[in-house]
């Protein structure tokens, strides 16, 4: 008989799944073969078939409709199932209030709201930090998304360390993407690198923009495709660049998973200048497609990217330019690319499920 | 390894967003030439002077929080010149620590109520981080953690000579009951860079924290009334408080003080006066010599150098409530006893306490 676990699927209620909703979806899929999974939204149970159907169609809209339909009358509301407090309860993100189950665990993705509140809206800081101490105190296990996140958390809350476990997530491109990509016309972008970042301070795109005016970068023909919205802050920063430099960079806006897959698959490498990440799933996405990563020497990046990347000081234009030149060397790129897929393969569903199974087994 | 001992220093990263840093480790000149809030600039000057006196090399680190672990930390250690100490200048929003080093804290916006509240919230959230501090610069932070009291050791730093800043602006006192905004505008129009004082003044620098001390403000309002009615009792200089807004103008600072006066119930004469004047910025130290300096417990006393404090004929530490921690801090910092004037709430009326909603 499989051990039972209740998983809070509140993040899956979002319409568009990125970030923590995707993490939650992967967690469900990683644990489903091993556990008797129950689902909840706060103290209320959620039907398992609704969750699994929502995952099949990859949207929270369906799940919200299914839950709303179940509580559309007072009678139905009263009959709504609640969670069984005897079954261990795992939150894939913030635990808003403790004590719903006898054994609880939650997940810390990063502690940027604690150490970098200047990069967050005050409401977001309050959402993460107000319950943090109670959350940690009532957790039997605290899952951290990387060793770097665990170390950062334990720097501030050292008594949490014995409860912490590292839970790495993984990349799972849909099976059909490879065939769909083959059936598409070739991408006509010339040589390009994909960039993950925005102009906001934590994502540090400004470093790349500053580097575009450097002679060695200006002389190259590499194009930079930024996955994400351009925004007025980027407009302001770009206005300070020469027209030639501006022509070297383009913004995709919000794109589908398949469009991201195609852009990454045909890129030379990924540029990830972010100052701080709890894990850095875009790096694993790129590596899973055999692409090396040029990333900040910061937080979780060395741990996640390992030998498949080159690193630079996130505040040094000179350091970034030097690393970019090194990455542009075909032999270096090939050497790193050979490491990319094995490195990405270290992060898989079994690795994600393992710490949860160990916790449930009392290990 | 550096020939001299190295101190790593970090400042709130929000102030770095417009500075083009050469790297995560950057030199003093990047901050020296940058536009910074006055209280942060003074704190940095103080740290740099102290480091120079101790022949210590200062290296600034942009985001210490990203170098806590693994390869990133190894890189930082290689750049740090053997540093064993890290001083985090904090505005109360966060406390950045470097594990393995001796971490010190300098909470520089003393008296800024929102910053003090942020720091208290942070202490409640991660008290263990504060309990591990090797020292606190010019602060009195203490708290109970479980069964023990925690008070990071005091590291007193002070200026020998008050740093020269922008010339102070002197502004007349204008009282228009119920229209403090307009009074602020009128006052600001009359601002002058310098105006001779006929005799040594009584100087009372303010912060928002001092203005939130109602009994203290009542006493100050009475002094204002007395001096306006009888200029021979002046001059009274009131240092305008820094506001927690980037766009705050002098008139807003004046309005904040007048609003606080209006809440005291002290009837002030409806007139303007140069005998009571507001001061934006640090007055010329020579103008304060021989005068009286009243420092509220929630004023950043370290903004004043020994030249001003020693030249004052009378130096008083004041405030309502307990002043023992502030007195201990100030006397240790100054190296001598200081007169303390504890202000008690006005007596006369029966206190009313509402225990429950009817």
Sign for the pseudo-dihedral over CA of A240, A244, A249, A253: positive
Mean pLDDT for A107-114 is: 95
Mean pLDDT for A179-189 is: 90
Q: In the sheet that A164-166 helps form, which strands lie side by side, from edge to edge?
A: A44-46, A36-41, A4-8, A89-90, A104-108, A141-144, A164-166
Q: What is the structure's pLDDT at B251?
A: 84
Q: How far is A201 from chain B (nearest CA, A)?
A: 7
Q: What is the structure's pLDDT at A291?
A: 97
Which band of pLDDT confidence, cut at 50, 70 and 90, is reported for residue B358? Answer: low
Q: Which one is predicted more confidently, B55 or B188?
A: B55
Which band of pLDDT confidence, cut at 50, 70 and 90, is reported for residue B71? Answer: very high
- φ and ψ of A328, to 5 deg: -75, -10
Q: Which residues, 6+ apart, have CB-to-CB distance to B105 below 8 Å?
A: B87, B88, B90, B95, B130, B133, B135, B136, B137, B139, B141, B152
Q: Is pLDDT at B350 greater than 60 in this prediction?
A: no
pLDDT averaged over every residue in chain A: 91
Question: Among residues of chain A, what percentage have pLDDT more than 70?
Answer: 95
Per-position DSSP letters for A246-257, written without gaps between them: HHTEEE-BS--H
For A225, half-sphere exposure in the C-beta direction (CA atoms, 13 angstrom radius) is 24
Sign for the pseudo-dihedral over CA of A329, A335, A341, A342: negative
Window from A116-130, B172-186, B223-237, B307-321 with minimum mean pLDDT? B172-186
Q: What is the structure's pLDDT at A43?
A: 83
Q: What is the structure's pLDDT at B244?
A: 85
Window from A133-142, A282-291, B188-197, B307-316 with minimum mean pLDDT? B188-197
Q: Is pLDDT at A220 greater than 60 in this prediction?
A: yes
Q: Is pLDDT at B351 greater than 60 in this prediction?
A: no
Mean pLDDT for B294-316 is: 92
Mean pLDDT for B61-85 is: 93
The domain locations on chain B are 6-155, 169-342
Contact assessment for residue A248 and residue A224, using Cβ atoms and an 8 Å cutoff: yes
Cβ–Cβ below 8 Å for B125 and A114: yes
pLDDT in tens, B188-231: 776 666 667 778 899 999 999 999 999 999 999 999 999 999 98
pLDDT in tens, B323-333: 888 999 999 99
Q: How far is B203 from chain A (nearest CA, A)?
A: 36
Residues 65-94 of B with CB under 8 A from A: 65-72, 75, 93-94
Q: Is pLDDT at B141 greater than 60 in this prediction?
A: yes
Q: Is pLDDT at A115 greater than 90 in this prediction?
A: yes
Residues of A with a Cβ under 8 Å from any B Cβ are 114-118, 129, 132-133, 147-148, 151-152, 155-159, 201, 210, 275-276, 296-299, 301-303, 311, 313-316, 318-319
Question: Among residues of chain A, what percentage have pLDDT more than 90?
Answer: 67
Q: Is pLDDT at B67 greater than 80 in this prediction?
A: yes
Query: B121 to chain A: nearest residue by CA?
Result: A130
Query: Per CATH, the architecture of A177-345 is what?
Result: 3-Layer(aba) Sandwich (3.40)
Q: Is pLDDT at A64 greater than 70 in this prediction?
A: yes
Query: A295 to chain B: nearest residue by CA?
Result: B72
Q: Is pLDDT at A73 greater than 80 in this prediction?
A: no
Query: A204 to chain B: nearest residue by CA?
Result: B17
Mean pLDDT for A267-274 is: 95
The Cα B38–Cα A8 span in angstroms is 48
pLDDT averaged over every residue in chain B: 89
Best residue in B17, B60, B68, B69 for a mutation probing chain A (most A CBs within 10 Å) = B69
The domain locations on chain A are 4-170+348-360, 177-345
Mean pLDDT for B273-283 is: 88
Mean pLDDT for A172-189 is: 91
Same CATH fold assignment for domains A4-170+348-360 and A177-345: yes
Burial class (CB in 10 A: 0-12, 13-18, 19+), B241: buried
Q: What is the structure's pLDDT at B1?
A: 59
Mean pLDDT for A319-347 is: 96
Q: What is the structure's pLDDT at A268?
A: 96
The two three-digit tokens of residue A107, written as one number: 């997940």
CA dihedral A129, A134, A135, A138 (to 10 degrees): 170
Query: Per CATH, the architecture of A4-170+348-360 is what?
Result: 3-Layer(aba) Sandwich (3.40)
Window from A1-10, A251-260, A298-307 with minimum mean pLDDT? A251-260
Q: Is pLDDT at A161 greater than 60 in this prediction?
A: yes
Q: What is the structure's pLDDT at A206?
A: 86
């Amino acid at each position: 008989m499989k051990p039972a676990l209740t998983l809070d699927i509140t993040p899956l209620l979002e319409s568009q799944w990125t970030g923590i909703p995707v993490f939650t979806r992967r967690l469900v899929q990683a644990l489903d073969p091993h556990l008797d999974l129950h689902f909840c939204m706060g103290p209320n149970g959620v039907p398992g078939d609704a969750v699994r159907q929502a995952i099949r169609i990859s949207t929270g809209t369906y799940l919200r409709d299914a839950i709303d339909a179940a509580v559309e009358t007072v009678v139905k509301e009263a009959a709504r199932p609640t969670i069984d407090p005897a079954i261990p309860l795992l939150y894939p993100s913030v635990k808003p209030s403790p004590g719903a189950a006898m054994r609880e665990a939650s997940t810390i993705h990063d502690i940027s709201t604690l150490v970098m509140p200047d990069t967050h809206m005050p409401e977001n800081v309050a959402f993460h930090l107000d319950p943090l101490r109670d959350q940690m105190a009532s957790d039997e296990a605290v899952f951290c998304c990387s060793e770097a996140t665990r170390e950062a958390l334990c720097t501030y809350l050292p008594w949490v360390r014995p409860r912490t476990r590292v839970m790495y997530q993984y990349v799972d491109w849909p099976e059909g993407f490879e065939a769909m990509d083959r059936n598409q016309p070739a991408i006509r972008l010339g040589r390009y690198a994909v960039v993950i970042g925005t102009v906001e301070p934590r994502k540090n795109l400004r470093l790349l923009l500053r580097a575009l005016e450097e002679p060695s970068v200006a002389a190259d023909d590499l194009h930079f495709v930024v996955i994400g919205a351009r925004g007025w802050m980027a407009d302001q920063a770009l206005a300070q660049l020469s027209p030639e430099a501006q022509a070297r960079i383009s913004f995709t806006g919000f794109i589908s998973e398949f469009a991201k897959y195609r852009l990454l698959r045909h890129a030379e490498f990924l540029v990830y200048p972010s100052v701080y990440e709890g894990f850095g799933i875009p790096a694993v996405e790129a590596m899973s497609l055999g692409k090396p990563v040029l990333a900040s020497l910061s937080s979780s990046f060395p741990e996640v990217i390992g030998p498949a990347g080159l690193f630079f000081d996130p505040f040094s234009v000179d350091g970034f330019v030097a690393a970019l030149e090194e990455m542009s060397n075909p032999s270096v790129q090939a050497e790193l690319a050979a490491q990319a897929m094995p490195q990405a393969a270290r992060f898989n569903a079994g690795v994600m499920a393992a710490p949860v199974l160990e916790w449930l087994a009392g290990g | 390894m550096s020939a001299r001992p190295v101190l790593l220093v970090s400042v709130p990263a929000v102030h770095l967003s417009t500075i083009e840093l050469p790297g995560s480790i950057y030199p003093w000149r990047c901050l020296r030439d940058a536009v910074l809030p006055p209280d942060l600039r003074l704190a940095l000057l103080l740290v740099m002077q102290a480091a120079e006196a101790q022949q210590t090399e200062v290296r600034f680190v942009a985001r210490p929080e990203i170098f806590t672990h693994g390869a990133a930390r190894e890189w930082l250690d290689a750049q740090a010149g053997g540093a064993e100490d890290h001083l985090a200048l904090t505005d109360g929003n966060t406390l950045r620590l470097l594990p393995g080093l001796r971490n010190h804290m300098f909470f520089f916006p003393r008296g800024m109520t929102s910053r003090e509240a942020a720091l208290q919230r942070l202490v409640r959230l991660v008290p263990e981080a504060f309990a591990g501090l090797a020292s606190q610069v010019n602060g009195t932070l203490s708290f109970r953690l479980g069964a023990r009291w925690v008070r990071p050791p005091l590291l007193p730093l002070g200026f020998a000579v008050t740093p020269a800043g922008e010339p102070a602006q002197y502004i007349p006192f204008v009282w228009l009951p119920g229209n403090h905004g307009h009074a602020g505008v009128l006052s600001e129009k009359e601002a002058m860079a310098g105006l001779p004082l006929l005799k040594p003044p009584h100087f009372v620098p303010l912060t928002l924290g001092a203005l939130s001390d109602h009994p203290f403000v009542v006493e100050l309002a009475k002094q204002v009334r007395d001096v306006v009615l009888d200029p021979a009792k002046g001059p009274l200089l009131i240092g305008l408080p820094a506001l927690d807004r980037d766009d705050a103008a002098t008139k807003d600072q004046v309005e904040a003080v007048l609003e606080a006066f209006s809440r005291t119930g002290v009837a002030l004469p409806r007139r303007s006066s140069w005998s009571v004047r507001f001061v934006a910025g640090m007055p010329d130290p020579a103008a304060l010599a021989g005068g009286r300096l009243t420092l509220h417990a929630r004023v950043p006393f370290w903004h004043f150098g020994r030249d001003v404090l020693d030249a004052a004929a009378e130096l008083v530490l004041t405030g309502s409530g307990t002043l023992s921690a502030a007195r201990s801090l100030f006397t240790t910092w100054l190296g001598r006893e200081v007169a303390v004037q504890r202000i008690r709430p006005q007596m006369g009326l029966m206190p009313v306490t509402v225990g429950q909603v009817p």
